[in-house]
Every structure is written in structure tokens, then in C-alpha cells.
């Protein structure tokens, strides 16, 4: 699917100096609790899309701090618009535009308590495997920024990516649990599942795969 470019997206993200968008996230490495002005756990979503998942989490869990990351500012702008449209705007959510390849430049060791990977690009060609967000390159970064007890929650509609991820987590010293091969037909087991916009659309066409992982 072609990404729709939004004119002046960066300028629009900074409209009225809103408190949700962080334009210089490197400045806060190791200081994210200061941003939220509390010591609550910090959860990070990589690839937040239009923001339905992360805004719902923030609304439902006021005692958790949320950071939403998106590579493309045109997409991140849609997330900001969703936040600004909320009747009760969250005090526990910030968003930023960055490439997950450089996470360790933005977050200190052990700074994140939970990480969400929702419907990441599957990069189906073998030569692109290193770009997958569950490849060894990325998992090594997650190990650094997650707390000792930190967890990763992963969802995808792509069977190939799911099978690859199972193998990758296992090979990179993660314990895997809460596996589902058809999440939306298994909601008695996962009653608190929060959906993304993509998930709402594609779950009607095929299974959603789910797992959680924790460093051994």
C-alpha cells in the first residue's frame, strides 16, 4: 500500500506547541519519567499507525505511561489528530517520529517496561529479513531498553512473519508465551485485546496471530 504524503506534516505536528508531540526525542534519553512527571511504568508502541491502539490503552490505563513511535510523520499526524479529537485527552501519552533502527539512541538501558509490535511490515523477501522488527538486530535493541522483567507483545496477520518471529525470539534467548494462532476466535483467553485500525479490517478476512515474549 502506498503511503499518502501529507503536506507540511512536520509543521502540523507542532501546531500550538501541543504537549503530545516530542520533536527532539534524543534530548530525553534516560529522562522519560521526567517527561511524564511520575515513576509509572513506560510502555512503547513501535509503529503506532493512526493511533487507535495506543490512545485506547492510554485512556484505559492512566497509571501507565505510553510512548508511540512512528517512522513517517504523515502517519504520526493522524495519531495526533486522534488524540486531539478525544473528549478526555490523555495525560500519559506522547508521540514521536523516529526509525526503530536507532532505538538505543533515544532510550536508556532498562527504561521501557513493555513493548508493542502491531502488524509490522513483514518484509517477505528473504534478502530483507534483517529489516523485520523481530529480527536479531532489533531484538538485541529491545533487550537493552527493556527492564529485566520487560515484555514484548506481538500481533500480525502474516503467517510467514509469525513463524519467522517464533524462531527469532527463541534463537535470541526469549521465552515465548500466550501464543494464539487465531486471536479473534480466542478472545475468552484474551478478553483485554485492544485492536488497531488495521486489525479491525483484516481480522474479518483471516486469522490474527499473537504472542508475548520475555527475555530469559
12-21, 75-84, 166-175, 180-189: which has the minimum mean pLDDT? 12-21
Q: pTM (2 decimals)?
A: 0.93
**Shared-domain flag, residues 73 and 157:** no
**How far is 113 from 96, CA to CA, in rounded Å?**
18
pLDDT at residue 122 above 70?
yes
pLDDT at residue 43 above 60?
yes
pLDDT at residue 1 above 50?
no
* Options 16, 34, 63, 121, the catalytic residue: 121
**Do residues 135 and 166 make contact, with C-beta atoms less than 8 angstroms apart?**
no
Identify the domain boundary among 106, 124, 143. 106
In the residue annotation, 186 being an active-site residue is answered as: no
Give tens-digit pLDDT for 174-203: 999 999 999 999 988 888 999 999 999 999
Q: Is residue 95 in some structural domain? A: yes
Q: Which of 195, 191, 161, 196 is nearest to 178 (CA)?
A: 191
What is residue 18's three-state secondary structure?
A: coil
H or E element that contains 201 = helix 197-202
Which domain range does residue 74 map to?
1-26+49-106
Give tens-digit pLDDT for 4-15: 555 675 666 777
Q: How confident is the model at residue 170 (pLDDT cuts 50, 70, 90)?
A: very high
Identify the domain boundary among 106, 134, 149. 106
Amino acid at each position: 500500500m502506498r503511503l499518502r504524503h501529507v503536506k507540511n506534516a512536520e509543521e502540523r505536528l507542532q501546531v500550538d506547541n501541543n504537549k503530545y508531540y516530542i520533536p527532539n526525542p534524543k534530548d530525553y534519553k534516560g529522562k522519560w519519567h521526567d517527561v511524564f512527571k511520575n515513576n509509572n511504568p513506560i510502555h512503547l508502541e513501535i509503529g503506532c499507525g493512526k493511533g487507535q491502539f495506543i490512545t485506547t490503552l492510554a485512556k484505559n490505563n492512566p497509571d501507565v505511561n505510553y510512548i508511540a513511535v512512528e517512522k513517517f510523520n504523515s502517519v504520526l499526524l493522524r495519531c495526533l489528530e486522534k488524540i486531539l479529537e478525544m473528549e478526555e485527552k490523555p495525560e500519559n501519552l506522547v508521540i514521536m517520529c523516529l526509525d526503530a533502527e536507532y532505538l538505543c539512541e533515544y532510550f536508556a538501558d532498562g527504561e521501557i517496561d513493555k513493548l508493542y509490535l502491531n502488524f509490522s511490515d513483514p518484509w517477505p523477501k528473504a534478502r530483507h529479513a534483517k529489516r523485520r522488527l523481530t529480527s536479531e538486530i532489533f531484538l538485541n535493541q529491545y533487550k537493552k531498553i527493556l527492564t529485566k522483567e520487560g515484555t514484548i507483545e506481538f500481533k500480525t496477520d502474516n503467517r510467514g512473519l509469525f513463524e519467522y518471529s517464533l524462531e527469532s525470539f527463541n534463537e535470541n534467548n526469549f521465552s515465548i508465551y500466550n501464543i494464539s494462532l487465531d486471536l479473534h476466535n480466542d478472545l475468552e483467553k484474551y478478553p483485554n485485546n485492544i485492536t488497531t485500525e488495521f486489525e479491525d479490517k483484516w481480522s474479518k478476512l483471516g486469522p490474527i496471530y499473537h504472542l508475548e515474549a520475555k527475555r530469559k
